[in-house]
Amino acid sequence: MKNILCLNKIAACGTDLLDKNEYNVATADIADPDAIMVRSAVMHEMTFGASLKAIARAGAGVNNIPVDRCATEGIVVFNTPGANANGVKELAICALMLASRDIAGAIRWADTLVGTEGVAKAVEAGKSKFAGVEVKGKTLGVIGLGAIGALVANAALDLGMKVVGCDPFMSVDAAWKLDPRVIKAATFDEVFAAADYVTLHVPATKDTKGMINAASLAGMKDGVRIINLARADLVNSADVKAALESGKVASYVTDFPTEETVGVKGIVAIPHLGASTAEAEDNCAVMAALQLDDYLKNGNIKNSVNFPNVAMPRSAEARVCVLHSAECDLLGALEAIANENGASVAALSTGKKGANAYTIADVNGNAAALAAALNAKGCVYKAYVI
């Protein structure tokens, strides 16, 4: 029986896929779990037990998980790219409208008319201060053309917008899903210069944190409207506030309210609702559970953020899973190590992702001895038998 600890509420349609005869899924009282399922719980200060093999994040972002430390401890971190994409896309379309017209401010003002005589007359007299612009014919700049960015770009075309986007790491699959009418820019700066609206759909990395700042804003059109449903730290809030005051930025819509951004004129702060739909939560839970199940049962990896995708059908008595440094050349040495420890390799598959690598070896004979020998190698993070 494998123990899975849920740090947040995970939709039952996902956890119910985990066979109760094989898994004990609980929200507490599991001291040393085999796997963890999580949504937003912050895990950076957590200490992980030796039995922990995987963390499944029911969502795309993994900034709440110590991904690099997990890798060196032999813990695979999964996410669920695309599972919440439609929910975020729909909020992005809403954000376009919120950025264009002071809908939020107008609603707050209308609520103040409670008890006022002649509300209809007051509305007609006061509505002019909430006038805005239309998105049709404007240019939307999309930063990041992955699962969400591509959907937003395609939807904006249907709204009559021109769309220019940039994604230096766009996959072939993402390219196929992108409408050919989207103009591909070579750099983010090209997008900034062309756009009336800029929408962000990239992860927070050392290269993207603070990418919207005084320098990048200076290269944008006057009156640009910015949408950030990706991560709070992509935007330098102080620089955006200064740009709002000067008129350089007309409006800023963010899904990540902070002390700096709440209650500021020109900023619409949404309380992190991007993936907060019943459908998105269900999709994320199902994808996370299926990925976790396949890894714990078969050692197959799909959608890991710290190890490569590696999978193969079972072909021997046992399977040895080896999480190791990319500098560790197991491909040439594994068969010899197996023979030295009373095992023989029937099949293997390996892959690399950045500094980390993963190797699956189907073996006959003494698989436990092989795993023990591999764990003794300094470049192996963790080796175990399924």
Cα 173 to Cα 171: distance, rounded to the nearest angstrom: 5
Nearest to 227 by CA among 257, 197, 250: 197
Q: Is 314 among the residues known to form the active site? A: no
Give 78's DSSP letter.
Answer: E
Cα 246 versus chain centre, distance: 33
The encoded tokens of residue 43 equal 């895990």
Q: Is 44 among the residues known to form the active site? A: no
Please identify which of the residues 69, 73, 90, 272 carries the catalytic annotation. Answer: 272
Please identify which of the residues 73, 260, 314, 335 carries the catalytic annotation. Answer: 260
Alpha-carbon distances of 295 from 12, 20, 300, 315, 356, rounded to whole Å: 20, 17, 5, 16, 17
CA dihedral 86, 290, 356, 176 (to 10 degrees): -40
Looking at the DSSP assignment, which residues form a beta bridge with residue 224? 249
Q: For the chain, first and last CA: distance in Å?
A: 13
What is the crossing angle of helices 85-100 and 278-298, to 10°? 150
The encoded tokens of residue 379 equal 């470049």
Alpha-carbon distances of 203 from 63, 152, 314, rounded to whole Å: 9, 16, 35
For residue 317, count other CB atoms closer than 10 A to its CB.
13
- Helix, strand, or coil here: 113? coil
Please identify which of the residues 231, 281, 319, 324 carries the catalytic annotation. Answer: 231
CB of 212 closer than 8 Å to CB of 184: no
Q: Is 324 among the residues known to form the active site? A: no
CB of 134 closer than 8 Å to CB of 286: no
Catalytic residue numbers read 231, 260, 272
